[in-house]
Amino acid sequence: MQSATQQNTFADDVLRGLSSNPKFLSSKYFYDDEGSRLFQEIMRLPEYYLTQAELEIFSEQRDEIFQAFAESGAAFDLIELGAGDGTKTSVLVESFLRRQIDFSYIPIDISAEALNFLTGKFNRQFPNLSIQPEQGDYFRTLESFKTKSDKQKIILFLGSNIGNFSLAQAQDFFKSLRAVMNETDLLFIGFDLQKDPHTILPAYDDAQGITAEFNLNLLTRINRELGADFNRQEFSHYASYHPIDGAARSFLISRKAQTVRVEAANKTFEFAAWEPIFMEISQKYTLKMIGDLAQASGFRVAKYFFDSRNFYTNSLWKPE
């Protein structure tokens, strides 16, 4: 399994994934412009409870979250990994500004476009906020903060983004984060919890078919960027939830025997009728899994915040 920190090119990853048995494509490539737009739509779907649950935690418990963050009363850097459109973070930022807390907001993202959008929006919304966007790799950027700033770092990794890593990748990821954190820094993570499978599955198989579009869009991206000839009509979206391992998985299923040429990989791939391409894992956690993961990667859980339905948790971790 590839580590979360390893960088490959899009063409290499597609070649490797489609040459494997079973075939797979990496969901990290979902987010071109159209994919990002579709994900915004997913977050507004009635079935996609995750965003509402996290927003509820932030809105209803902002004071308790603040207490947990600002225990020492000292100035801090609020660092967000993969900040997206910042809707949830803006609730915290607004509350901290109102209390005249001394902090800077540092969103880190690989996408310059996403950062520009977020910075523009936060500059308009919060003219008094000190915002220092950093474009690039999470770990390298955080490493540079060790020498750049001696303030406490509070690192946010929200939106259940950790769910898109396998358990082994998640552990690798947190170990790498631990290596660039100081003893007094904090990590605040959004986890989707295991719950009624009848609630989870529709979040990945919505009635309007937006999630299907979101998956199929990766085929369109491969066609456009890598000169492939996928026919989207010949693939269908299939979502599953496995209550034993707690993983939602999505697949694109080849509806017939077919071949697909990918020019940039200089290769033609054979698909059998009904052969799946594994597209994405969305891991759901139990509290025991979260505690074990923290411990295995050099942290301890300091606090859990839950939404009113116990669908979701934001968990505050301290270096051990």
Q: Which is nearer to ligand AVI, 212 or 265 (CB)?
A: 212
What is the rounded distance in angstroms from the CA atom of residue 247 to the CA atom of residue 140? 30
Q: Which is nearer to ligand AVI, 55 or 75 (CB)?
A: 55
The partner residues of 105 in beta bridges, in order of sequence, read 78, 131
Position among 161, 176, 236, 240 found at the interface with ligand AVI (CB under 6 A): 161
Write each residue from 205 to 224 as x if it is in contact with ligand AVI (CB under 6 A), else as -, in one continuous string. Answer: ------x--x----------
Position among 282, 313, 314, 315 found at the interface with ligand AVI (CB under 6 A): 282
The answer to whether 135 touches 109, Cβ cutoff 8 Å, is: yes
Residue 35 interacting with ligand AVI (CB under 6 A): no
3-state SS class at 216 = helix
Question: For residue 263, what are the contacts with CB-CB under 8 A and spacing of at least 6?
Answer: 226, 227, 228
Residue 169 interacting with ligand AVI (CB under 6 A): no
Least distance from ligand AVI to the Cβ atom of residue 51, Å? 9
Least distance from ligand AVI to the Cβ atom of residue 252, Å? 13
Question: For residue 148, what are the contacts with CB-CB under 8 A and spacing of at least 6?
Answer: none
Residue 42 interacting with ligand AVI (CB under 6 A): yes
Provide the token pair at 97.
């500004």
Shortest Cβ contact with ligand AVI: which residue?
A: 282
Helix, strand, coil content of the chain in percent (nearest 5): 45, 25, 30
118-131 b/e (C-beta count within 10 Å ≥ 16 → b)? bbeebeeebeebeb
Position among 280, 299, 307, 317 found at the interface with ligand AVI (CB under 6 A): 280
Least distance from ligand AVI to the Cβ atom of residue 113, Å? 17
Q: Which is nearer to ligand AVI, 38 or 262 (CB)?
A: 38
The answer to whether 75 touches 151, Cβ cutoff 8 Å, is: yes
Q: For strands 276-283 and 247-254, give the pairing.
A: antiparallel
Amino acid at 79: I
Residue 81 interacting with ligand AVI (CB under 6 A): no
Least distance from ligand AVI to the Cβ atom of residue 305, Å? 18
Q: Which is nearer to ligand AVI, 30 or 103 (CB)?
A: 30
Q: Which residues bind ligand AVI (CB under 6 A)?
A: 42, 50, 159-161, 163-164, 204, 211, 214, 280, 282
